[in-house]
Amino acid sequence: MYLESRTIDGGRELRASGAWRVSHADELARAVAEADIGSAPVTLDASGLEALDLTGAYFLHQLELRLAAAGVASTWRGARPETLAFTAGLIDAAPAGHHARPPAEPLGLLGRWTVQQGGAVREALEFLGRIQFVLASALVRPRRFRFQSVVRHVYETGIQAIPIVALIAFLISVIVAYIGAEELRQFGGEVYVVDLVTISVLRELGVLLTAIIVAGRSGSAFTAEIGVMRLNEEVDALRAMGVNVVEVLVLPRILGLMIALPLLAVIADAMGLAGGAVLAWLVLDIPFSQFMARMQEAIATTTFWAGLLKAPVFAFVIAMIGTFRGLQVRESSRELGRLTTVAVVESIFMVLFVDAVFAVIYWETDF
Amino acid sequence: MAADGAAVPLVVVRGVVNRFGTQVVHDGLDMAVERGEIFGIVGGSGSGKSVLLRTILGLQRPRAGSVAIEGRELTQLHGGELRAVKRTYGVTFQHGALISSLTVAENVELPLREACALGAVPLAGLAALKIGLVGLPGDAGPKYPAQLSGGMVKRAALARALALDPQLLFLDEPTSGLDPIAAAAFDELLLYLRRTLSLTVVMVTHDLDSIYRTCDRVGVIVDGRMISDTLAAIVDNPHPWIQEYFHGARGRAARRQ
């Protein structure tokens, strides 16, 4: 019991006892909330207090405020505790205001959202323009390409990604071949599994899977790296030194990824075909030689190029979104996490969107 | 309170050894902080001030030696017991280390929220109390750390360190990066808090003005060990680094005030 109510000499008394410390804050809060306020004048007694820290004094002050609010006169037996007087002084000097946010209005929210989206589109276009400008000026003065930096990004986004890209391409192609074999067996056309695997891997799956893995792996890394540099004011430092941030941070990442992604796509193609060939041999008893022969008939050279042509475009989209979102990071670590998520989601969406555009173009041009 | 509690120093560090690879940072370092004093830790860059602080806070286990707070041996404690000791002291870090996605008020509420089950109203009230205690204006509560000036960040960090009403406070370079007026105001705040809350303060600092204004005793880390003495006595210590520190151009200027 931290607070007890009793009657002494016909007068009512509230006696605080025990250790009024932060370690019992929840019990103190309950004791004060449940205190018997009554209406008759009351005497407060702090003689039983073993300890009183600021948190305890806060709740003691809450008791005084409750009594005052109920219009109950209260006096202290003996002196009012010093810590309480100190705390009450602080609380009265800076009243705890509840900073309620203005209620959200649907129309206002829609308007704000529209303006924000419009601004974001403008910023993105401006960013694209700056990339093109820097690229153009680098073509005139090749020193501005930052070859070392580009090589580093080729290594980090390309070479280090080979194992995961190879594994996923192999497995997906095995899955496609297996499902295809099940269906085609009903028509006795098992050999068309070769057509199915080679065309789908070379035209679509190889490059698309690679792009999605790279968006998750490197797009997020770009946003996080540049975002942390922004939080550490490194980006501002570079700007203050007169260094062009797009030239140093953005262009090498874009160029590096535009070199790495097509190479990864070639590896994914090869592993995909290997996966198809292994499954055809194990499940359908199609030997490698027959697989190769059938593949030669099924595809033209354009089948390979139709897939590979998309890789640099995907790379540009992924790298641009990653760096753009990284440069938008401001103020807090939560912002960094949010924008990294945004970057990955947007780049995967844009990769699929661009892929659809390519499909339409190929269809129209009979490529 | 045990009767012998007053006799034993509040913080006792004995024979601490810290080594990173072949680099020896502390080589049998001893330190004792008495109740109610403000103890300054000074030392050159790389002398291991921050490592010492991290060791005392239990963030890093020393290779050898012991750290005791209120007679409880930190290096022997694990899990819940260690957490209980950690709730008895408050800490501020050099750059504030406020959680950037929370407002100042939420930062101050954070330790309370973790330690006890309180409703939103008392939490907000207690946070406002601590924010007022460190001399921040009332409208600082709903602001985010990024919206504060350097001096306000230091004060907000102090408010968070004081959230659980600790008797012991560790401050890592509390006045670094502040202008002289803000630094002097912070010194006064510290003295005021020590007076009103009877705090014990251990602070790592480079600020000579701050040392002269606030510290009762000073511990200097030299050669992996600590030489500690009262401020009046330590300035006459013959060790060349200490002589250079207190009697160099900056030391003389600070002493004159």
Q: How far apart are the first and last CA of chain A?
A: 85
- Write the pLDDT tens digit of every residue in A324-346: 999 999 877 888 999 999 999 99
Task: With beta carbons under 8 A apart, name residues in chain B contacting A22.
Answer: 112, 115-116, 164-165
**B131's tokens:** 């924010």
**Does residue A156 lie within any of the structural domains?**
yes
Is A98's pLDDT higher than 60?
no
Last residue of a domain, one of A36, A58, A93: A93
Is A283's pLDDT higher than 60?
yes
Last residue of a domain, one of A93, A108, A141: A93
Same domain flag for A129 and A188: yes
Output the average pLDDT for chain A: 89
Is A126's pLDDT higher than 70?
yes
Confidence of residue A87 (pLDDT cuts 50, 70, 90): confident
Residue A264: which domain range? 119-365
d(CA A127, CA A249): 13
Q: What is the mean pLDDT of residues A223-242?
A: 90
Output the average pLDDT for chain B: 84
* Identity at A69, one-letter amino acid code: A
C-alpha distance from residue B74 to each of A30, A231, B40, B49 (Å): 34, 35, 21, 18
- Write the pLDDT tens digit of every residue in A144-164: 888 899 999 999 999 999 999
Confidence of residue B84 (pLDDT cuts 50, 70, 90): confident
Interface contact flag, B132 A91, Cβ < 8 Å: yes
Q: Is A360 on the interface with B (CB under 8 A)?
A: no
- Write the pLDDT tens digit of every residue in B69-78: 888 888 787 7
Same domain flag for A58 and A193: no
Single out the residue of A253, A150, A125 nearest to residue A133, CA to CA.
Answer: A125
Q: Is B248 on the interface with A (CB under 8 A)?
A: no
Is A171's pLDDT higher than 80?
yes
Q: What is the mean pLDDT of residues A254-278?
A: 95
Same domain flag for A89 and A124: no
Same domain flag for A134 and A207: yes
Same domain flag for A14 and A145: no
CATH at A76 = 3.30.750.24
Same domain flag for A74 and A156: no
Q: What is the pLDDT of residue A39?
A: 78
d(CA A159, CA A148): 15
Confidence of residue A102 (pLDDT cuts 50, 70, 90): low
Is A142's pLDDT higher than 50?
yes
Under 8 Å between Cβ of A173 and A182: no
Same domain flag for A142 and A74: no
CB-count exposure of residue B39 (10 Å: 0-12, 13-18, 19+): buried
**Does residue A109 lie within any of the structural domains?**
no
Is B2's pLDDT higher than 60?
no
Interface contact flag, B124 A29, Cβ < 8 Å: no
Same domain flag for A68 and A214: no
Q: Phi then psi for B69, rounded to 5 degrees?
A: -115, 125
Q: What is the mean pLDDT of residues B8-36?
A: 87
The CB density around residue B252, as the number of other CB atoms within 10 Å, is: 11
Same domain flag for A153 and A53: no
Query: Nearest chain A Cα to B129, which residue?
Result: A91
Same domain flag for A31 and A171: no
Q: What is the mean pLDDT of residues B80-99?
A: 83
CB-count exposure of residue A173 (10 Å: 0-12, 13-18, 19+): buried
CA of B41 vs chain A CAs: smallest distance (Å): 28
Same domain flag for A247 and A295: yes
Single out the residue of A173, A231, A224 nearest to residue A203, CA to CA.
Answer: A173
**Does residue A136 lie within any of the structural domains?**
yes
Query: Nearest chain A Cα to B122, which residue?
Result: A29
Name which residue leads in pLDDT, A117 or A81: A117
- Hey, which residues 302-341 in chain A have their CB within 8 Å of chain B? 330-335
Confidence of residue B3 (pLDDT cuts 50, 70, 90): very low
Domain count for chain A, please give it: 2
d(CA A358, CA B204): 62
Last residue of a domain, one of A93, A128, A162: A93
Interface contact flag, B122 A332, Cβ < 8 Å: no
- Burial letters for B55-78: b for 16+ Cβ neighbours within 10 Å, e otherwise? bbbbeeebeebebbbbeeebeebe
Q: Is B126 on the interface with A (CB under 8 A)?
A: yes
Confidence of residue B4 (pLDDT cuts 50, 70, 90): very low
**A298's tokens:** 């099924």
The residues near A231 (Cβ < 8 Å, ≥ 6 apart) are A329, A331, A332, A333, A336
Is A41's pLDDT higher than 60?
yes
- Write the pLDDT tens digit of every residue in A7-30: 877 778 888 888 888 888 888 888
Same domain flag for A63 and A130: no
Q: What is the pLDDT of residue B5?
A: 45
**Does residue A88 lie within any of the structural domains?**
yes
d(CA A290, CA A277): 10
Is B1's pLDDT higher than 50?
no
Is A133's pLDDT higher than 60?
yes
Q: What is the dihedral of CA A172, A173, A179, A184, to 10 degrees?
A: 160
Task: With beta carbons under 8 A apart, name residues in chain A contacting B5.
Answer: none
Q: What is the mean pLDDT of residues B206-220?
A: 88
Calculate what percentage of chain A has a pLDDT beyond 70. Answer: 97
Is B98's pLDDT higher than 70?
yes
Interface contact flag, A333 B100, Cβ < 8 Å: yes
Q: What is the mean pLDDT of residues A76-88?
A: 82
Query: Nearest chain B Cα to A332, which residue?
Result: B100
Q: What is the mean pLDDT of residues B86-109?
A: 85
**Does residue A190 lie within any of the structural domains?**
yes
* Identity at B246, one-letter amino acid code: F
Q: What is the pLDDT of residue B241?
A: 86
Is B48's pLDDT higher than 90?
no
